[in-house]
Structure 1
Amino acid sequence: MDPIVAKAMRREAPTRDEARTVLAVSDAGTLELIAAVGRVRRKFFGDRVKLNYLVNMKSGLCPEDCFYCSQRKGSDADILKYSWQDTEEMVSAADKAVARGARRVCLVASGRGPAQRDIDRVSEAVKEIASRDVEVCVCLGLLKPGQAEQLREAGAFAYNHNLNTSADRYGDICTTHGFQDRVDTVNDAAAAGLSPCSGAIFGMGEGDEDVIDVAFALRDLSPDSVPVNFLIPFEGTPLARKWELTPLRCLRILALFRLVFPDVEVRLAGGREIHLRSLQPLALHVVNSIFLGDYLTSEGQAGDDDLRMIADAGFVVEGTEERQDPEARHDLVAIRDRGIGTDKEGNT
C-alpha cells in the first residue's frame, strides 16, 4: 500500500488498478490496510471527528421508487409518516444536536423535489439554525432553477444529493429518475455557491467495478463531503433481503474512499451499526466524520455511545479539542475519577 498511500499524501487519487488492489485486500490483510490508510486520515484531519446530525423534516409519502428507501412509493416499511415539521420543531432538534457537539445539521425531506412553498418553509428554518454558528446542509431532492440560490441566501452552507451507485447500475435501484439527474443537481447546487455533499450506498448488489465507478464519478464532482452509507435492508422494500456485506468489506470500501478523497470529509453514515458492528471504532481511523444518533427512518447508535466510542478510540470531537468532556470517556474512567464504587486501594 505504500505507493498508493504516498500518492494520497500528495492529494493524488489512485488509478483504477490501484483501487482494485485496495478492494482485493484479504480479510487477514485488512487491519494492515487500515493502519496504512490511517496515515492519510491523520495527515489531513489529525485526531478530529466531525459530528453531523439529521433532522427529518418530512417523512414518507415519496413518489420516487428508489429500491433501497423505506420512504419510496409502494413501500410497506413500518416507518413514521408525517408532513412538514414546523420551524420550532426543526430548530429545537438542531439545538439539542449542537449542544452535543454537532458541527453540521442536515435538514432532509422526502420527495422528488421541493415546491416553492417548501423552499420558503425550509429557508425560514435555515435562517434560525444557521444563526447558531453551525453548518446547515439541506437535502430536498432535485432542485428547480433559483432554489439553490434561495437556500444559500437564507444561510445554507451545503446541499446533499447522493449518487448512490454507479451510472451503469442506477437503473437497477431506481426507475423514476436517472443518474444524470443526480449529477446535475450536485453541479447546480455547487454553481449556486453551496458546498457540494454527495456520496453512495453500498450493499445493493454492486461489484468492485461499481464501487470504483461511483467513487471516481464522485471525485469528478469535487465534493467537499462524501457520506458513505451501507444498505439498511428495510422490510417492505425490494432490497429487504440484501445482506451481503461483511465488516471487513465495509472497512475496505471506506479505505478506498479515503484514498480517493484524501483531504475531503469522508463521513461514516447510515448502516454503520448493523454492518460494521464491533469494528465501528476501526472505521474512525479512516473516516473523519460520522452522524450522531438516529438516521431518517431508523435508529442509530445512542449519541452517548457514539461519543464514548470516539473517545475510547483515541479521537476528539471536532470543536472540543481544547476541553476534556468527562461524559465522552469510558464509564469506568468516569467512575474512578468520581471515586464511586472503589475500595481504599482504588480498585473498582
Structure 2
Amino acid sequence: MGIAPRIIDGYTLTKEEALEILHTPDNRLLSLIDDAYQIRHHYYGNNVKLNMILNAKSGLCAEDCGYCGQSTKADTGCSQYALVDEQTLIRGADAAVNNQIGTYCIVMSGRKPTNREVERVTSAVGEIKAQHPELKICACLGLATDEQAKKLKAAGVDRYNHNINTSERYHDEVVTTHSYKDRVNTIAIMKEHHISPCSGVICGMGETDEDIVNMAFALKEIDADSIPVNFLHAIPGTKFEDKDELTPNRCLKILALFRFVNPTKEIRVSGGREVNLRTLQPMSLYIANSIFVGDYLVTNGQPNAEDYRMIQDLGFEIEQNAFTNDPSLIEA
C-alpha cells in the first residue's frame, strides 16, 4: 500500500520523505501518480478548477526577476502599457464567465501598485461582483500595503496572489531588488484582512531538489489556499533564457511532491505546462486539480478548446459555478 491513505489520515511527510519523491525512478512514476490521485480525488473528486489571467499592466517593471519578460532589465520586446481602464477589466470578467472560469486573475506588472491603481481595480471589482457574484476575483498587484489590502477586501477581492517563486536560500539568485521576506510579508498582510492567500513557485530556474522541498514546506507553513506550480518557460532576453532543466517526468514528480506536502490545497499546474509537460499534460490533472486557461502574461497557452477536450477525455468535470449550466456559452 502506498503512502496516500496515511496522508489522508493526517500524516505529514518529513523533508527526507519528500526528497525521495523527487528521486522516484521513472519506472515507478505511475505508482507515484496513483498515490497523488488518491489524495486529489479524496479532497476534490474529478473536478478541475479553471482560472484565467488578464495582463492588466504589462512591462515597465524595474525589478530584476531572472525569469520575467516584463522586467526592464530584460531585452524581450514585450508589450508595454499602463493599467487598462475599468471597462477592459470588466470585459475580462465577462469573458471568464462565458468560458466557465472559476477564478478571474487581474495581474499587474511592477514592484507595487499605486493607490490610484488600486482604486481603479477596486472600482472595477465592485462592478464585476455586482454582475457576477459567483465569480472569484484574484488580484496580483505586487507588494501591497495594509490599507490597500483593506480596500481590496471591501471591494470584493476573494484572493491575492503573490508567489514565493523559489526557496529562501535561492531567492537572491532569482531576484535582488526585493527580498524573500517582502513576499512573505505581503501574503501575511492579505491573510490578516481575510483575503485568501495564493502563493506558488517556478521550478527549473537552477534550484536544487532540496530547494524544491523547502518551497513545498514553506507554502505549507504559509498555509496558502491555492498553490500555482509553474515550470520555467525560458524567454529569450531574460537572465534564465538558456535554462532547460525540466522533463515531463520531472514535472510530474514535482507536482506530486506539492500534492503530498499540501494535500488539501488547490494545486494548479500553471505557466510552462505546455512546453514542459508536452504530451504528458493530461497526467498532471491526476495530481493537480486546477489549471490556467488561455494565455499567460507574455507567453501563450494552448487554445481553450484543447484544455476543455483534455478535461473531457480524462472523464473529469469542470468545477461548476452558477454560470456554467449552459454549454453554449463556452468559447473555443
TM-score between the two structures when normalised by the length of structure 2: 0.95
Counterpart of 2:271?
A: 270
Is 1:161–1:186's contact at 8 Å kept on the other side of the alignment? yes
SS at match of 1:124: helix
Equivalent in the alignment of 1:342: none
Indicate the structure (1 or 2) with the bigger Cα radius of gyration: 1
Residue 28 of structure 1 aligns to a residue in which SS? helix
For 2:265 and 2:219, the matched residues in 1 are separated by: 12
Match of 1:286? Answer: 287
Distance 2:18 2:228 in 1: 19
Does 2:207 correspond to 1:206?
Answer: yes
Q: Is the 8 A contact 1:164 1:199 kept in 2?
A: yes
Task: Give the 5 Å matches for 1:109-258.
Answer: 109-131=108-130, 132=132, 133-258=134-259
Match of residue 41 from structure 2: 42
Change (3 A) 1:21 1:84: same
Shift of 1:188: 0.7
SS state of the match for residue 295, structure 2? coil
One-letter identity of the residue aligned with 1:219: K
The separation in 2 between residues aligned to 1:55 and 1:320, in whole angstroms, is 20
Aligned to 2:66: 67
1:78, distance to aligned residue in structure 2 (A): 2.9
Question: Is contact 1:157–1:195 with CA below 8 Å preserved after alignment?
Answer: yes
The equivalent of 1:17 in structure 2 is 16
SS of the aligned residue for 1:33 comes to: helix
Match of 2:97 in 1: 98
Confirm or deny: 8 A CA contact 2:63 2:73 kept in the other structure: no
C-alpha distance in 1 between matches for 2:156 and 2:194: 11
Q: 1:143-178, CA deviations, whole angstroms, 9 ceiling, x for partnerless residues?
A: 123111100000000110000000000000000001
* CA distance 1:251–1:10, change in 2 (3 Å): same
Distance 1:281 1:266 in 2: 15
**Matches of 2:73 and 2:205 in 1, distance apart?**
19
Root-mean-square deviation (Å): 1.8
Instruction: Summarize deviations over 1:30-54 as a string: whole Å, max 9, x none.
Output: 1221012100000100010000000
Q: 2:245 aligns to what SS in structure 1? A: coil
Q: Distance in 2 between the 1:160 and 1:327 partners?
A: 28
Q: Tell me, in whole angstroms, the C-alpha distance in 1 between the residues paired with 2:29 and 2:329.
A: 32
State the AA in 2 paired with 1:234: I
Q: State the distance in 1 between where 2:167 and 2:45 align.
A: 31
Q: Aligned-pair distance for 1:127?
A: 1.1
Contact 1:149/1:193 (CA < 8 Å) preserved in 2?
no
Q: Structure 2: which 5+ runs fail to align? A: none
Q: Within the alignment, does 1:260 sit opposite 2:271 as a pair?
A: no
Q: Would you say the 8 A contact 1:13–1:261 is kept in 2?
A: no
Shift of 1:298: 1.1
Q: Aligned with 2:26: secondary structure?
A: coil
Q: Relative to 1, partners in 2 of residues 1:37 and 1:324: Cα closer, same or farther, differing over 3 Å?
A: farther
Instruction: Tell me the CA shift for residue 327 of structure 1.
Output: 9.7
Q: Give the whole-Å Cα distance in 2 for the aligned partners of 1:261 and 1:205.
A: 23
Q: Does 1:82 align with 2:84?
A: no
Deviation at 1:8, TM superposition (A): 2.0
Aligned mates of 1:297, 1:86 — CA distance in 2: 20
Q: 1:124 to 1:327 in 2, by over 3 A?
A: closer
1:313 aligns with 2:314: yes
Distance 2:174 2:259 in 1: 25
Distance (Å, rounded) in 1 between the aligned partners of 2:181 and 2:6: 30
Residue number in structure 2 paired with 1:8: 7
The secondary structure found in structure 1 opposite 2:55 is strand
Report SS of the residue matched to 1:212: helix
- C-alpha distance in 2 between matches for 1:320 and 1:95: 14
CA distance in 1, matches of 2:27, 2:271: 26
Greater shift after overlay, 8-17 or 109-118? 8-17
Using the size of structure 1 for normalisation, the TM-score is 0.91
Tell me the amino acid that sits aligned with residue 306 of structure 1.
D
Moved more, 77-86 or 264-273: 77-86
Task: Classify 1:224/1:11 alpha carbon distance in 2 versus 1 (closer, same or farther; 3 Å).
Answer: farther
Instruction: Mark the CA change 1:10 to 1:326 in structure 2 (over 3 Å): closer, same or farther.
Output: farther
Q: Is the 8 A contact 1:8 1:259 kept in 2?
A: yes
- 2:229–2:267 contact (8 Å) kept in structure 1: yes
Q: Which amino acid aligns with 1:178?
A: S
Letter in 1 for 2:37: G
CA contact (8 A) 2:98 2:329 kept: no
- Distance in 2 (CA, whole Å) between partners of 1:284 and 1:72 is 31
CA contact (8 A) 2:199 2:226 kept: yes
Query: Matched residue of 2:33: which SS?
Result: helix
Cα deviations across residues 285-340 of structure 1 (Å, max 9, x unaligned)?
Answer: 00000001110111101111110011111100000799695999xxxxxxxxxxxx
C-alpha distance in 2 between matches for 1:324 and 1:27: 42
Q: Secondary structure, in 3 states, of the residue corresponding to 2:267? A: strand
Could you tell me how far apart the structure 2 residues matched to 1:55 and 1:146 are? 24
Cα distance between partner residues in 1 of 2:240 and 2:124: 34
Counterpart amino acid of residue 231 in structure 2: F
